[in-house]
């Protein structure tokens, strides 16, 4: 049985943007957050968003779908984002996929801990959409 995942390609005009579609895996247990970010990214026209509701399913989807980048909440049931990041970076199939950790806990040291766990970047919640998109683009541009 395939893990629960939604995949819809955006059909918005490109408005001069690159026609390259970025495959994003968003691992998040809050349905409202998933809906809002998925919709907003896909409306930009060059993002395809896959989703998983916990770290365990996220690891499965990442291995099967090979996304370009992973956006992951750190506080989730079943397998949290910390453990999922360790698993993803320890798996030869997924170790090279960049991860942006997301957390409502903007405590001192949280960003450093996420980077030490293997995440390429860290951002706070609630998500500031334009900043997150800029971070995604910067992380992906750094991988070329």
Structure tokens at 124: 């706070």
Residue from 16, 52, 44, 63 nearest 133 by CA: 44
CATH number where 107 lies: 3.40.50.2300
Give the Cα separation of 99 and 114 in Å (integer). Answer: 10
Q: How far is CA 108 from the centre of its chain?
A: 22
- Residue 63: Cβ-neighbour burial (10 angstroms; 0-12, 13-18, 19+): middle
Residue 5 has pLDDT above 70, yes or no: no
- The answer as to whether 110 is a domain residue is yes
pLDDT tens, position by position, 45-101: 999 999 999 999 999 999 999 999 999 999 998 999 999 999 999 999 999 999 999
> What whole-number percentage of the chain has pLDDT above 70?
86
pLDDT at residue 144 in the model: 62
Q: What's the total number of domains in the chain?
A: 1
> What is the predicted pLDDT for the residue at 1?
38
Strand ranges (E), 17-134: 22-27, 47-52, 69-73, 99-103, 121-124
pTM score: 0.85
Query: Residue 73: inside a domain, yes or no?
Result: yes
Mean pLDDT value across the chain: 87
């Amino acid at each position: 049985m395939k893990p629960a995942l939604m995949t819809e390609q955006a059909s918005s005009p490109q408005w001069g943007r690159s026609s390259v579609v970025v495959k994003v895996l968003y691992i998040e247990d809050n349905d409202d957050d998933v809906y809002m970010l998925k919709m907003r990214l896909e409306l930009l026209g060059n993002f395809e968003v896959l989703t998983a509701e916990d770290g365990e399913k996220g690891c499965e989807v990442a291995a099967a779908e090979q996304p370009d980048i992973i956006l992951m909440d750190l506080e989730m049931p079943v397998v949290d984002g910390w453990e999922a990041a360790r698993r993803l970076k320890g798996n030869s199939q997924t170790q090279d996929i960049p991860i942006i950790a997301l957390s409502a806990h903007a405590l001192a040291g949280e960003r450093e801990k996420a980077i030490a766990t293997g995440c390429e970047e860290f951002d706070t919640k609630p998500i500031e959409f334009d900043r997150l998109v800029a971070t995604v683009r910067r992380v992906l541009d750094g991988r070329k």
